[in-house]
Amino acid sequence: MVDPIFAQRRAVLLDAMGEGVLVLFAAGAAIRNNDVEHEYRQDSDFYYLTGFDEPESVLVLSTVHADRYALFVRPRDPERETWDGARVGVDGAVSELGAKVAFPVSELAAKLPDWLENAERLFYRIGRDRDEDEQVLRAIDRTRPRARRGATFPTQIIDPATLVHEMRRKKTPAEIELMARAIDITGEAHVAAMAVARPGMYEYEVEAVLRNIFRKHGSERPAYAPIVGSGPNATVLHYHKNNRLMEEGDLLLIDAGTEFGYYAADVTRTFPVGGKFTEPQREIYDLVLAAQDASIDATRPGATIEEIHAASVKVLAEGMVTLGLIEGPVEEAIKDERYKRYYMHKTSHYLGMDVHDVGRYFERGKPRPLEPGVVITVEPGLYVSATDDQAPARYRGIGVRIEDDVLVTAEGRRVLSDAIPRRTSDVERACRPS
Ligand code: GLY
Ligand code: MN
Ligand code: MN
pLDDT at residue number 374: 98
Residues in the chain: 434
Q: How far is CA 169 from the centre of its chain?
A: 11
pLDDT at residue number 432: 84
SS3 271: strand
379 CA closest ligand 1 atom index: 4
R_g of the chain computed on alpha carbons: 25
pLDDT at residue number 434: 64
Q: Which of 321, 196, 309, 293 is nearest to 254 (CA)?
A: 196
Q: Which residues surround ligand 2, an ion (CB under 5 A)?
A: 266, 377
pLDDT at residue number 147: 86
Report the distance separating Cα 139 and Cα 21, nearest Å. 13
Per-residue pLDDT of 416-429, as tens digits, reads: 999 999 999 999 99
Q: What is the mean predicted confidence (pLDDT) over 128-138?
A: 97
Q: List residues bridging with 405 in a β-sheet.
A: 377
Report the distance separating Cα 204 and Cα 194, nearest Å. 14
Q: Is any ligand 1 atom within 6 A of the Cβ of residue 405?
A: no
Report the distance separating Cα 30 and Cα 56, nearest Å. 12
Work out the pLDDT band at 340, boundaries 50, 70, 90.
very high
Q: How far is the CA of 131 from the centre of ligand 2 (A)?
A: 32
Rounded to the nearest 10 degrees, the angle between the axes of helix 130-143 and helix 108-116 is: 60
How many helices (DSSP H) and strands (DSSP E) are in the chain?
13, 21
Work out the pLDDT band at 321, boundaries 50, 70, 90.
very high
Dihedrals φ, ψ of 155, to 5°? -115, -5
Per-residue pLDDT of 215-239, as tens digits, reads: 999 999 999 999 999 999 999 999 9
Q: Which of 55, 46, 48, 59 is nearest to 87 (CA)?
A: 55
Contact 264, 247 (CB under 8 A): no
Per-residue pLDDT of 354-381, as tens digits, reads: 999 999 999 999 999 999 999 999 999 9
Q: How far is the CA of 378 from the centre of ligand 2 (A)?
A: 8
